[in-house]
Structures are given as C-alpha cells and as structure tokens.
C-alpha cells in the first residue's frame, strides 16, 4: 500500500519540475549578473541548462514507474498511452508555437525562422516535432522546444524499450545501441546539406534522443530499483543531499571546461557532453532516490503547496521564458525606462529608474512569467488535459 500514492502522484517530484525550469531560466539570463559577480560565477550560472537533464531523468523515472510492469504492445493500450501523453504535452505546445509564428508574421523576427524559406512549412515541422532532428532549425520557433522532440521520441520508444528489457534482460545494452545508431546517422548525413539533419556529433549528442537516451535510462533504472521498495520516507541515508551536491559538482566541472568556438557553455566541450549526459544523469538519479526514500528539509520544501503549483505550471514557464513573450517584456521594460527618464526630465530630478538595471528586469520578467504560467495552467492547460483524457480522441473513454 505504501507504493500506491507514489504511483499516482509525488509532490516533491512535481516541485523538482519548478527547480529544473528555473535553472534553465538562469542559464539563459546569466548576463543579468555580469556587473555584480566574477566571471567564474557567470560561467557557473551558464551551465544551469542542467534543468533539461533533470526533466529527462524525471521523465524516464515516471514513465517506467507507471508503465514498466503494465505495458502491452497492443493497439488499444498504445492508443491510450499516446492519448495520455498528448493530453499532457501537446495542447500548450501547439498553442504557444502557433503564437510564435503569429508573432513572426507581425515582427519578422528572424530568430523564429532562422532564414527557413517557408514559415508555414516550418510551423508544420514544429507541430509534428520533426524540427528537432535538424541542427539549423533546432532553435527556431520556441527555441527551447527542441527538447520536446527528445521527450516525444522517448515516449514513443519507451514501451518497446520495456519490451526488450523484459524479454532479453540485458537492459544496459540498449543505451549503447541507441547512441550507436545516432553515431551511424551522423556518419551517413554529416556531408549532406539538409538543414543539418544529424549534421554533426555534438548536435546528435546534445539535441537528439539518440545522444541523450542515457538520461532517460538513468530514470528508468531508478524506477526499477525503487518500485519494490516501501517508499515511506523513513530511510536514514543522505542520498538526497549527496546527489544534490554532485549535481552542482557537475555544473562546476562544466564551468571550468574550455568553450568551443561559437558556443556559449562548457556543455559543448566533449568532456562537457560526457559530464552532462552521463555523470550528471547518475547524480540526478541519486538525488531522486533520496527524495523518494528519505524525509529531508529539501523534500518538504519541494512538496510545499505553492512550490507544487509552480511545478505544475513549470512546463508553460519553460515554453515561454525564452522567446516572443520574454522579448515583449524586454521591449516593455525599455519603453517604461524611457518614459520614467522623460518624466524625471520634466520634474528636473536625477533619480534612478526601476527599469534601468538588467538584473532587476530579469527578476521582474521571472515573476511576471510565473504568474502568466500559473494563469495559463489553470485556465487552459489543466482543463484541456482533462478534456482530452475524457474524450474519445484515439480511443473511446471508459469514463
């Protein structure tokens, strides 16, 4: 009986979603701290992209914990499984992606298309998740949406991965086979000029499921370890803090690595790839093991009702924290700053503006985007999720 609440819902792991999204946010806006912190600190903050790895390990754990013992490779089971995944991921992704291309129509922002000839064709590539296979297109539309191609490919592959794990037992072989397939694709296509389709090894290892599959397997392995344990939080070990500390040791290691030309983080260094995709994934799994088996202050914080709400809305926050919504806020802050100084000129005073500091503007944006995320979650994402699950989409509802 101790397992049942875990199977249905884990508050601390929902809180972890918010932590992961906020780490990614910091990595994208570390420039706001340029004037106040040493360069080494900024390099450290630049490596907070690790939030993406947290998402991947968490997805591997949750899908395996829910389905590893119950999956069936039948049409009805697969349709119900895909229906649940679509209900969770697709509605907000579709709406916000559509928003990005509508924004492009009015602004002509080249970040959204990266010079791709047909915005309509690119939009279709986005809503079918295939743009994530092309190096030159990975940051188009909602730039951070490349990770959803990775997630969706995992969702689709997971039942087959479970099948081979149960039938042939040698579970640990699968990541090598999958990554090997990615390496083979790069060897086949790296000299083909097709928008960077599997165009180089760095792209394959960092931006595709074939390169990042170990992160999901780390989560799957964790699920297999804990699924027969009594997860009542009574363990007296210290894996929570050990894993949490090792996560930031990995960040520190990546922050010390030379950044390859044209890149922005130590992640893109070959040793950074190894650290992020393998050592970090194992550290995150250890951290999750602690959250599942121990009762700590950190677990209580992540299970807090407000943090839980932020975790539930973190998917939207992740999708809007970078791109046209943030750009609109940035434009608004600059205009407000000009308006404030014009007002000061009229008054004949020499005061500071609340919008003249990058760090403060990033903080304002963080707060506003969280508020928008919660509102969209309550008004759109959650209702659509429930509606699709209860609908006859893909398979008739039993409710």
Region of 294 on the Ramachandran plot (φ > 0 left; ψ -120 to 50 alpha; else beta): beta
In angstroms, the CA 23 to CA 317 distance is 12
Cut 0.85: pTM above it: yes
Question: 């389709």: which residue's tokens?
Answer: 197
Q: What is the mean pLDDT of the chain?
A: 93
Burial 346-375 (b: 16+ CB within 10 A, else e): eeeeeeebebebbeebbebbbeebbebbbe
In angstroms, the CA 388 to CA 359 distance is 40
In angstroms, the CA 306 to CA 60 distance is 25
Per-residue pLDDT of the chain (399 residues; tens, 9 = 90+): 333 344 457 899 999 999 999 999 999 998 777 667 788 898 999 999 999 999 999 999 999 999 999 999 899 999 999 999 999 999 999 999 999 999 999 999 999 999 898 999 999 999 999 999 999 999 999 999 999 999 999 999 999 999 999 988 888 899 999 999 999 999 999 999 899 999 999 999 999 999 999 999 999 999 999 988 777 777 778 999 999 999 999 999 999 999 999 898 999 999 999 999 999 999 999 999 999 999 999 999 999 999 999 999 999 999 999 999 999 999 999 999 999 999 999 999 999 999 998 889 999 999 999 999 999 999 999 999 999 999 999 888 764
How confident is the model at residue 6, as a pLDDT? 42
Secondary-structure percent of the chain, ordered helix, strand, coil, rounded to 5:
75, 0, 25
What are the tokens at 167? 């039938």
What are the residues whose beta carbons fall under 8 Å from the beta carbon of 241, sequence distance 6 or more? Answer: 290, 296, 298
How confident is the model at residue 8, as a pLDDT? 52
How confident is the model at residue 50, as a pLDDT? 98
**Maximum distance among all alpha carbons in the chain?**
79
Q: Tens digits of per-residue pLDDT, 94-107? A: 999 999 999 999 99
How confident is the model at residue 228, as a pLDDT? 80
Torsion sign (Cα): 171, 15, 315, 249: negative
């Amino acid at each position: 009986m101790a397992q049942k609440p875990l199977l249905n819902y884990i508050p601390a792991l929902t809180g972890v979603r918010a932590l992961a999204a906020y780490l990614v946010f910091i990595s994208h806006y570390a420039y706001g701290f340029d004037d106040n912190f040493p360069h080494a600190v900024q390099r450290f903050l630049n490596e907070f992209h690790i939030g993406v790895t947290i998402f991947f390990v968490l997805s591997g754990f949750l899908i395996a914990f829910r389905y590893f013992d119950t999956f069936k490779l039948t049409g009805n089971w697969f349709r119900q499984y895909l229906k649940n995944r679509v209900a969770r991921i697709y509605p907000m992704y579709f709406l916000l992606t559509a928003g990005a291309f509508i924004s492009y129509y009015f602004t002509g922002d080249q970040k959204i298309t990266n010079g791709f000839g047909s915005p309509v064709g690119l939009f279709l590539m986005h809503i079918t998740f295939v743009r994530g296979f092309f190096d030159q297109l990975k940051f188009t539309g909602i730039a951070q949406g490349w990770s959803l191609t990775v997630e969706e490919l995992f969702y689709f592959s997971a039942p087959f991965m479970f099948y081979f794990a149960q039938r042939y037992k040698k579970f640990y072989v699968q990541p090598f086979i999958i990554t090997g397939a990615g390496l083979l694709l790069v060897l086949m296509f790296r000299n083909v000029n097709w928008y960077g389709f599997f165009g180089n090894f760095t792209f394959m290892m960092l931006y595709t499921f074939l390169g990042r599959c170990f992160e999901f397997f780390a989560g799957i392995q964790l699920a297999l370890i804990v699924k027969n344990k009594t997860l009542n939080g009574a363990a007296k070990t210290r894996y929570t803090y050990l894993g949490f500390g090792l996560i930031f040791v990995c960040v520190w290691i990546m922050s010390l690595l030379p950044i390859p030309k044209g890149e922005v983080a130590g992640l893109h260094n070959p040793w950074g790839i190894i650290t992020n995709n393998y050592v970090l994934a194992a550290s995150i799994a250890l951290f999750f093991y602690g959250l599942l088996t121990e009762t700590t202050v950190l677990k209580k914080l992540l299970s807090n009702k407000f943090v839980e709400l932020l975790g539930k809305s973190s998917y939207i926050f992740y999708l809007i924290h970078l791109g046209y919504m943030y750009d609109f806020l940035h434009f608004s802050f600059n205009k407000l700053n000009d308006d404030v100084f014009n007002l000061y000129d009229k008054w004949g005073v020499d005061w500071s503006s609340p919008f003249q500091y990058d760090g403060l503007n990033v903080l304002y944006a963080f707060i506003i985007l969280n508020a928008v995320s919660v509102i969209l979650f309550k008004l759109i994402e959650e209702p659509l999720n429930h509606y699709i699950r209860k609908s006859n989409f893909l398979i008739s509802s039993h409710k």
